[in-house]
Structure formats: C-alpha cells, structure tokens
Amino acid sequence: MERMKELYQKQATTELMNNYHYKNMNQLPKITKVVINAGVGRAIANSKFMEEAIDAVKKITGQAPVITKAKKSIAGFKVREGMNVGVSVTLRGEKMYEFLDRLVNIALPRVRDFRGIKSNAFDGHGNYSLGMKEHGFFPEISFEEAGTPISLQINVATTAKTDDEAKTLLTSLGFPFRS
C-alpha cells in the first residue's frame, strides 16, 4: 500500500473525525483526483517544446498526457483555434497517491528557498491549486534533461465541502502550508 493512502486511512481519518464530528466514515473528505497541466505556448514557434513537455509530464506522472488545443484564436499571442497549446494529465487511484507522495516528500523540499506552499489557493469548494515554475524538481527529471523549464499547474480535487476541511485533510497528509 502507498504511504500517502496509508497516512490517509490511519492519521487523516481520525483527525477529521475528531475535528469535524462526522457521524459516518463515508462523510469524510477524500482526494478524488489530481490534474496536472502544462501550458506550452512556446510550441507555436518551435514544435520541439511540445515534445519536451509531453516527455516530461509522462516521466513525472507515469501516464501519457492529453494534448490540449486552443478554444479561441488570440491574435496578440499568435494563437489560432485548434492549435496545440498544452498538455494535461488526470491521475486517480494508486497513481494519484504515488504522485502526491513524491510531490510532498521529494519534489517540494527540492525547491530552492522553499518555505511552504500558499494556504490561500483553495477555490471555495475544497479544491487546491498549486503552480510550479519549473519541472526540474521532480526526481524523474535529470538536471541535464530539464533544459527549458516547463511550468506546471497541479490541481487537487477533494470531496470536502469547505476550504477549512480540505486544508485539514491536506495538512494531515503532509502538505507543507506556510503559517
């Protein structure tokens, strides 16, 4: 069993039951999915960037990403409708817990001058968003491979009804929030 899932079942459930006085275990908030997005606007000028982004996201998540296309044309950015502008991966189940474990315990501590993640990046419905400026912090990416930095947007979707419940859930799983 994954460390993060075991941590949820042993530590997070008891902490949430004590803090919010749930009557049933099925009322407890859970992490349902993790979505990783990488915008690759530079791929318009050079298609090599798209291939690099696909390879990097595939190595980081262990799953092949889906190429996202532009919905609208934007003349200022030289983007036409239907152009490839990013990659996206949705993780659920075992791969989700494995990714979160690597993110919290390996990747985030490798960030230079890391003091914690923002505690105000919740959307009001219990979901958390985290932006990373580089992808080189993950152990799957070697320093030589990192080349041009690819920024990642990581969204953690939970079944929590409030941001406070979601923050308690993520804190009990080891997410290092700033105080």
CA–CA gap between residue 167 and residue 105 (Å, rounded): 17
Q: Is residue 65 predicted with pLDDT exceeding 70?
A: yes
Summarize the confidence of residues 120-144 as an average pLDDT.
83
**Cβ atoms 12, 78 nearer than 8 A:** no
Class level of CATH domain 3-40+51-66+87-172: alpha beta
- Between vectors from CA 159 to CA 94 and to CA 105, what angle results, nearest 5°? 45
- Any idea which residue has 């152009």 for tokens? 83
Across 12-16, 78-82, 112-116, 148-152, least confident range = 78-82
What pLDDT is recorded for position 138?
A: 81
What pLDDT is recorded for position 42?
A: 67
**Cβ atoms 129, 123 nearer than 8 A:** yes
What pLDDT is recorded for position 142?
A: 72
Per cent of the chain over pLDDT 90 is: 24
111: left (phi over 0), alpha (psi -120 to 50) or beta: beta
Residues 6+ apart with CB under 8 A from 9: none
CA–CA gap between residue 116 and residue 28 (Å, rounded): 25
Strands, sheet with 128-132, edge to edge from the N-terminal-most edge strand: 66-69, 84-91, 31-39, 152-158, 128-132
How far is residue 79 CA from its own chain's centroid? 26
Find which of 41-50, 59-68, 81-90 is predicted with most confidence, using mean pLDDT: 59-68
* Structural domain spans, the chain: 3-40+51-66+87-172
Extended beta strands in the chain, E state: 31-39, 66-69, 84-91, 128-132, 152-158
pTM, rounded to two decimals: 0.86
Q: What is the CA radius of gyration of the chain?
A: 18
Reported confidence tier of residue 156, pLDDT bands at 50, 70, 90: very high
CA–CA gap between residue 87 and residue 54 (Å, rounded): 7
Structural element, H or E, at residue 79? none
- Any idea which residue has 């996202």 for tokens? 68
